[in-house]
Amino acid sequence: MTADANYDVVIVGTGAGGGTMAYALAATGARILVIERGEMVPAEDDNWSPEAVWRDLRYRTSERWLDERGEPFVPYMHYGVGGNTKYWGSVLYRLRREDFGALAHEDGVSPAWPIEYDALAPYYDRAERLYGVRGEVGADPTDPPRGPFPHPAVPHAPGMQALVEGLRQQGLHPSPLPLGLLRPGEDGGCILCNTCNSFPCRIGAKSDADVCCVRPAIERPNVTLWTNTFARRLLTDGSGRRVATVEVDRRGEVLRVGAALVIVSCGAANSAALLLRSASPAHPEGLANSSGLVGRRYMAHLATMMQGFHPLRPNDTVFQKTVAINDYYLKGPDSPYPLGHIQSQGRTHGIMAKVVGDTIIPGIPLSAYNAWVSRGVDWLVMSEDLPHPDNRVTVDSQGRLQLHYRPNNLAPHGRLVNETRRILRRLGFWKVMTHSHKNRNTTHQCGTMCFGSDPATSVLDPYCRSHDVANLFVVDASFFPSSAAVNPALTIVAQALRVAEHIEAEELG
């Protein structure tokens, strides 16, 4: 099979996993091709326009997936350089030490990881430095053992500080959210605006994979980026044990790129879809799928957006996403089981509320939503969902991605939502509103190719190499054996750095 181009390493995807991997391998001098289906996100006024982002869906994919009933839906996903990290809230958490072990939950056991926290801790340190994370040691009762953060925590705005004091009076232990923001308050740095979570940063001050990793990587002559290039299939050699070429659609032209190593990081759903689309006589159920687990065990967190509303208390906070509450992470007030994590959320804009509200009661004027959200404080409540083999990604005969997902572990999430409602009422809010993406939640997708030591029960080994295909690695959140209940991306970054170091020593050294 002849290739149209040849590289030492091909990396597919430029998000938290792929972007970090490109950065980490760039200095090896290996000839690296990075493939990204989307384009660079332009710096433009629309970046910070709630209308462009939420009403016109300027940056959202228009791709449709199918849900478990076969109904098409547009996933909350973004395809472009930096992947979903361009739009993230930049909350960059380490998993808790307990998340690496088996943990009993109300609906079953969250399985152990094949590595312990201590194995990832040095890479979390490096990940935090690379993405400029700000936080405070010792404030969060669930923090794993760790050294200082690279930067001090972002201070709470006065309105949030007042709520933090109210939370303490309730006996809770609120802590600063660990955030990846570049040079806040400095010239050219982050201005702590109210259009961060779900918006790209107009001034490049968010620690995303594009700014922190891809741009520095492609400055090197050995790293090439192809945008608008979709990886269609991975084709193996005659033995079936190595990927020989990556078949891509580059701006309408189908090409085959040869590579000694192939590193896939398309996001947990799209990476599974890519391997399933790469079925061949040597791999009839999909590439690297001798375990039958590719696409299975999809998880995405149980997440509920909550808003505390007080008609007489205008909310003048601009940058609101600074507070975390982890008191119920490992056990609830009336339950021996973990409930999850609570964090303050970026400000809701009237148009965002209207877009959601119109799907429930159409026709309410924007002015009513503006009046409402200007008196609300926003929170996100997150619980762990458990891996189940029937929660899975499949592809149909036309290559369309289908997401079969039935949320589980719902009772503890309901308890956490109720507890948060009580907390917000005690803070004086008159009304508490909730909203959830339910079974179409994709932002924290993970688990579709879990890592482990046993090829019968895992797809990847503990360094994210396929058990079946020797030169294939997958470094997005596919490898997660469990979803934990904090934001996933710093763990993706840390593991990518760990895998890169392994590849450098074992494959490129």
| Piece of the chain touching ligand SF4 by CB under 6 A; list 98-106, 168-176, 190-198, 449-457 | 190-198
| Piece of the chain touching ligand FAD by CB under 6 A; list 89-97, 99-107, 122-130, 213-221 | 89-97
Interface with ligand SF4, residue 190, by CB under 6 A:
yes
CA–CA separation, 330 and 339 (whole Å): 7
Token digits of residue 406 = 């039935």
In the complex, what is the shortest distance from the CB of residue 432 to ligand FAD, in angstroms, rounded to a whole number? 22
Which residue, 332 or 481, has its beta carbon nearer to ligand FAD?
481
Residues in the chain, overall count: 509
Give, to the nearest 10 degrees, the angle between helix 16-26 and helix 117-130: 80
Token digits of residue 365 = 């004027």
Interface with ligand SF4, residue 192, by CB under 6 A:
yes
**DSSP strand pairing (392-395 vs 401-404):** antiparallel
Interface with ligand SF4, residue 52, by CB under 6 A:
no
Interface with ligand SF4, residue 341, by CB under 6 A:
no
Interface with ligand FAD, residue 477, by CB under 6 A:
yes
Q: What is the DSSP string of 419-468?
A: HHHHHHHHTT-SEEEEE--GGG--TT-B-TT-B-S-TTT-SB-TTSBBSS
Among 196, 223, 306, 432, binds ligand SF4 (CB under 6 A): 196
In the complex, what is the shortest distance from the CB of residue 159 to ligand SF4, in angstroms, rounded to a whole number? 16
In the complex, what is the shortest distance from the CB of residue 313 to ligand FAD, in angstroms, rounded to a whole number? 26
**Nearest one of 312, 435, 304 to 374, comparing CA atoms:** 312
Helix (H) or strand (E) holding 24: helix 16-26
Interface with ligand FAD, residue 352, by CB under 6 A:
no
Q: What is the DSSP string of 95-147?
A: PPGGGGS-EEETTEEEPPPSS-HHHHHHHHHHHHHHTTEEE-TTSSTTPPS--
Which residue, 341 or 413, has its beta carbon nearer to ligand FAD?
341
Report which residue's Cβ sits closest to ligand FAD.
15
CA–CA separation, 378 and 187 (whole Å): 29
Side chain identity, residue 504:
E
- Which of ligand FAD, ligand SF4, none is residue 346 near (CB under 5 to 8 Å by kind)? none
Interface with ligand SF4, residue 57, by CB under 6 A:
no
User: Which three-class secondary structure state does DSSP give residue 379?
Assistant: strand
Cβ 385 vs Cβ 312: under 8 Å? no
- Which of ligand FAD, ligand SF4, none is residue 192 near (CB under 5 to 8 Å by kind)? ligand SF4
* Number of residues near ligand SF4 (by CB under 6 A): 13
Interface with ligand FAD, residue 295, by CB under 6 A:
no
Cβ 447 vs Cβ 481: under 8 Å? yes
In the complex, what is the shortest distance from the CB of residue 253 to ligand FAD, in angstroms, rounded to a whole number? 15
Q: What is the DSSP letter of 184?
A: T
- Which of ligand FAD, ligand SF4, none is residue 322 near (CB under 5 to 8 Å by kind)? none
Token digits of residue 245 = 């070429």
Where in 8-37 is the site for ligand FAD (CB under 6 A)?
12-18, 35-37
Where in 433-462 is the site for ligand FAD (CB under 6 A)?
443-444
Which residue, 332 or 492, has its beta carbon nearer to ligand FAD?
492
Which residue, 183 or 425, has its beta carbon nearer to ligand SF4?
183
Cβ 178 vs Cβ 493: under 8 Å? no
Helix, strand, coil distribution of the chain in percent, nearest 5: 25, 25, 50
Cβ 369 vs Cβ 54: under 8 Å? no
How far does Cα 389 stand from its chain's mean position? 21
Where in 310-329 is the site for ligand SF4 (CB under 6 A)?
319
In the complex, what is the shortest distance from the CB of residue 191 to ligand SF4, in angstroms, rounded to a whole number? 5
What is the contact mask toward ligand SF4 in residues 445 to 464, using x (rule: CB under 6 A)?
--------------------
Interface with ligand SF4, residue 415, by CB under 6 A:
no
Token digits of residue 121 = 């801790």
Q: What is the DSSP letter of 332?
A: B
- Which of ligand SF4, ligand FAD, none is residue 201 near (CB under 5 to 8 Å by kind)? ligand SF4
Interface with ligand FAD, residue 345, by CB under 6 A:
no
Cβ 442 vs Cβ 393: under 8 Å? no
Sheet holding 401-404, edge to edge: 72-73, 65-66, 401-404, 392-395
Among 110, 175, 265, 448, binds ligand FAD (CB under 6 A): 265
Interface with ligand SF4, residue 53, by CB under 6 A:
no
Residues at the contact surface with ligand FAD, assessed by CB under 6 A: 12-18, 35-38, 76, 79-80, 83-85, 87-91, 197-198, 230-231, 265-267, 270, 274, 443-444, 476-477, 487-489, 492
Residues at the contact surface with ligand SF4, assessed by CB under 6 A: 181, 190-193, 195-196, 199, 201, 203, 205-206, 319
